[in-house]
Structure 1
Amino acid sequence: MARQMDNIMTDSPFTTILGDDFARRFSMRPGSLMWLLGAGASASAGIPTAWNMIWDFKQQLYVSQRQVSLKSVSDLSNPAVRQTIQSFIESQGGFPDTDSPEEYAALFEAVYPSEADRRAYIDAKIKGAKPSYGHLALATLMKAGHTRLSWSTNFDPLVADACARVFDGTGALTTVALDAPELGRQTLNEDRWPAEIKLHGDFRSRRLKKTGDELRQQDATLRDLFVGACNRSGLILAGYSGRDDSIMDALEEALENTSPFPGGLFWLHRGDSLPLDRVNAFLEKASKKGVDGGLVRIDNFDETLRDLIRLMPNLDTTVLDQFAAERAIVSPPPRARGRASYPVIRLNGLQIETLPTICRRVVCDIGGFREVSDAIQRAGVNVLATRSAKGVLAFGDDNDVRAALSNCNINEFDLHEIEKRRLRYDSHERGLLGSGLIASR
């Protein structure tokens, strides 16, 4: 009973499944589950996700329209940088809200109105990418007949490249793109397995669909095929966030049928947060309709496929073993469940791989370091700061920085680039970074 409660989150309107439970269910349903791969499934292969590209688009708009150096906002992992860029985007007006399903397409079209430029952007992002362990594992399952059909919203050729390596040739996989939608119908009617159908276009296709109008006009033939397939097979969604209406419309249409997803419906989701509202509503409706499955909490696509491979007997894992020998695979530690725990060892010598490249710079009427420290203490905010000739340099939430210096007549509130050469001696920037390291112990 305790295990069952561990698998189901009672605060969700739908079932939430642990990865090991999903792996066991998959092993009992060979060939009855198809896949839908989104951008997240290609992240470990070096291809950016939709979230990454959204911030890339915002960054390009900010740099080109504000006419500033890219270095000043290069670190998109920094919340202060994202807040600065997002504030600018919101000030422009006309763009969808953050996390809106329309955000990606609207920003892509704003940055690159030309279809040729959008194609060039996509080509640059997928150039040189190689299949990850997850793609090779999926191809291994295809070769064994455990997976027959994979749908994709991606442009990359990673599944095809993985199949070419696992099958030792390029003729085993049937790939269908927007240029030849009727080939998709023939493939399904004639059982040409394994097959991959790209719902948003192939990277070689002239019909790439990455703007709002294009996404809304999803190819009718491929959409009908997808909806029909959802009534004959179960579906696993991996690396797909549910941001575009065309795929979500098709999923919801499939759910209206009498017996949708007969093999089950499993939405693989990274992290502890809930997915988008529309995905939540879809999973809740599927649960109420009695569809087996739910939201599957995973660490990443590669680890999930590794778990599936472990439970499938008589697989030819030659290529996977070779891949593991060629590349180092970093796996996260197992999560503690229930009351169980494991020892955590903290070392006193940690390698610093990256350092912040920017901080906040505030020009205001304030004295030296002591006065800055006193202002922060009076405001009761979590801010690290130092006083330099260029202004107050600070790490912390922008609202907290403003609160600490609000009575000091703020004249400028901008970003300051931390140059590497200034870290070679006892500079203000070096002192600020040292304070940050001490505070993060």
Structure 2
Amino acid sequence: MIEKFQLEYDAFLRSFKRNVDVPHSFLLGAGTSISSGIQTAYDCIWEWKKDIYLSKNINAADYYKNYKDESVRKSIQTWLDNQGEYPLLDSIEEYSFYAEKAYPIADDRRKYFMSLIENKEPYIGYKLLCLLAEFGIVKSVWTTNFDGLIVRSAHQNRLTPIEINLDNSDRIFRNQSNKELLTIALHGDYKFTSLKNTVKELDSQNESFKEQLANYHIDKNLIVLGYSGRDKSLMNALKDAFTCKGAGRLYWCGFGDTPLPEVVELIEVISKSGREAFYISTDGFDKTLIHLAKAGFEDNQDVSKMIQETLEVSENEEYFKTEFSLDFKKSDKYIKSNLHPIVFPKEVFQFEIDYKDEKAWKYLKAITKENNICAIPFKRKVFACWHINRYWEYIQG
């Protein structure tokens, strides 16, 4: 059971702080680039489905172009299901199947991914990751992403990125100097010819990458963020790397409390081999990097000031305001210092929403500004209720 190997988030931050003198590396998946405006793999799948549908139904209405609309998705999925040749909805085969089905020519797939990253800039998480690298805490970033955001962020933050991809994998065997950040694109890079998208491609992992992944992490901790664990070859490479003798730990930072069975299996196998591996439930890439940076430089006032300044220019209040939480075990307690009675709404609505490529907090603030609704984003959902002042008026009469 994953509970046995689950590490509480606050304990993870303390562990990171205690080990800032140990070199770390990161493995980043698609979830780390969402806040930078990069489309998710899930949305890519639906765009490919839409493209297939429209190319086979030339006279279809413009209505079907809005593939992020739930009713459009249902209609397209019904058509796909009726064809009898497409994977089941949300099956693990969908990504590689539709990537190849929509764009069977490899260079067309490369151009598709290139179009996704045009004019996109690295957001807070990438900037703070480079700050950790600047001070020698992070030495390498391994990624399944094609977007090149970590390379771009390194250039913008006083670092020299050493780009390693499928076309020059031998560069991974090198002596690394200060102010250099190894950036290993495990699935290729949109700037080059080699990308891994299809079943055949994803089921194989470059031998140089596999060998160095194991050697590199004998004495280095690896933090996984934004990666689901669906790539069999990469999961096998991680298993091989962390079941051989060594001291480096694996911290798997997931989104929510329930990881995929593949992740659970990996952590259990590593733990049984004598190496340390943990699952940590987090609230996304950017927040995790903010907290890691603050924890790592808690005793350094100059760097802490740099972090705060970086957050304040982000134009997102949720990142630079101090978090406040009360861990109530029972709901019938009182806050004695409050002069007014505490009233909780009787109903709270939970639903999903299309943010239209805007940041969650900014979007919700805009649509609730002129009414009496309070809405917050949390773990890919929105929780909404009447604003407490209006609710108080309501229950008073």
Q: Determine if the TM-score, normalized by the shorter chain, exceeds 0.5.
A: yes
Pair 1:181–1:202, CA change in 2 (3 A): same
Counterpart of 2:187, as a letter, is H
Counterpart of 2:66 (choices 70, 74, 78) is 74
1:162-201 correspondence runs (5 A):
162-167=153-158, 172-187=160-175, 193-201=180-188
What corresponds to 2:101 in structure 1? 110
The alignment partner of 1:56 has SS state of helix
Q: Deviations over 1:211-241 (max 9, x none)?
A: 2222223222122212322333221111111
Q: Deviations over 1:106-145 (max 9, x none)?
A: 1100001111211111111011110110000000000000
Q: Tell whether 2:267 aligns with 1:283.
A: yes
Counterpart of 1:212 (choices 199, 203, 206) is 199
Pair 1:13–1:19, CA change in 2 (3 A): closer
Structure 1 residue 191 displacement after superposition: 8.3
Contact 1:174 1:187 (8 Å CA) reproduced: no
Counterpart of 2:2, as a letter, is S
Contact 2:162 2:182 (8 Å CA) reproduced: yes
The alignment partner of 2:173 has SS state of helix
Counterpart of 1:28 (choices 18, 23, 27) is 18
Aligned residues: 337
1:51-90 correspondence runs (5 A):
51-67=42-58, 68-72=60-64, 74=66, 76=68, 78=70, 80-90=71-81
Q: Tell whether 2:205 aligns with 1:221.
A: no
Cα distance in 2, alignment partners of residues 148 and 15 from structure 1: 26
The alignment partner of 1:155 has SS state of coil
* Greater mean alpha carbon deviation, residues 337-346 or residues 121-130: 337-346
The alignment partner of 1:286 has SS state of helix
Pair 1:289–1:96, CA change in 2 (3 A): farther
Cα distance in 2, alignment partners of residues 225 and 247 from structure 1: 13
What corresponds to 1:135 in structure 2? 126
Taking only the aligned residue pairs, the percentage that are identical comes to: 30
Cα distance in 2, alignment partners of residues 281 and 211 from structure 1: 24
Q: Deviations over 1:78-127 (max 9, x none)?
A: 2x443333333333334444444432111100001111211111111011
What corresponds to 2:152 in structure 1? 161
Q: Tell whether 2:7 aligns with 1:17.
A: yes
Pair 1:155–1:51, CA change in 2 (3 A): same
Pair 1:74–1:309, CA change in 2 (3 A): same
Q: Tell whether 2:326 aligns with 1:339.
A: no
What corresponds to 1:411 in structure 2? none
Pair 1:33–1:14, CA change in 2 (3 A): farther
* Greater mean alpha carbon deviation, residues 306-315 or residues 106-115: 306-315
Cα distance in 2, alignment partners of residues 23 and 283 from structure 1: 19
Q: Deviations over 1:242-263 (max 9, x none)?
A: 122221121122243234xx23
Pair 1:335–1:56, CA change in 2 (3 A): farther
Q: Which runs of 4+ in 1 moved over 6 A?
A: 340-346, 354-357
* Greater mean alpha carbon deviation, residues 122-131 or residues 64-73: 64-73
Q: Deviations over 1:32-87 (max 9, x none)?
A: 32110111111100011222212222222233334423424625252x44333333
The alignment partner of 1:48 has SS state of coil
Cα distance in 2, alignment partners of residues 135 and 276 from structure 1: 25
Structure 2 residue ranges without an equivalent (≥5): 336-341, 346-352, 357-383, 387-397
Cα distance in 2, alignment partners of residues 356 and 135 from structure 1: 22
Q: Tell whether 2:223 aligns with 1:236.
A: yes
Counterpart of 1:310 (choices 288, 294, 306) is 294
What corresponds to 2:84 in structure 1? 93
* Greater mean alpha carbon deviation, residues 208-217 or residues 331-340: 331-340
Q: TM-score, normalised by structure 2?
A: 0.75
RMSD: 3.2
Counterpart of 2:280, as a letter, is V
Pair 1:69–1:228, CA change in 2 (3 A): farther
Cα distance in 2, alignment partners of residues 317 and 163 from structure 1: 20
Pair 1:69–1:248, CA change in 2 (3 A): farther
Q: Deviations over 1:139-189 (max 9, x none)?
A: 00000001111111111221122222221xxx622121122111111256x
What corresponds to 1:267 in structure 2? 252
Counterpart of 2:262, as a letter, is R
Cα distance in 2, alignment partners of residues 146 and 240 from structure 1: 21
* Greater mean alpha carbon deviation, residues 68-77 or residues 204-213: 68-77
Contact 2:136 2:178 (8 Å CA) reproduced: no
Contact 1:101 1:244 (8 Å CA) reproduced: no
Cα distance in 1, alignment partners of residues 267 and 355 from structure 2: 39
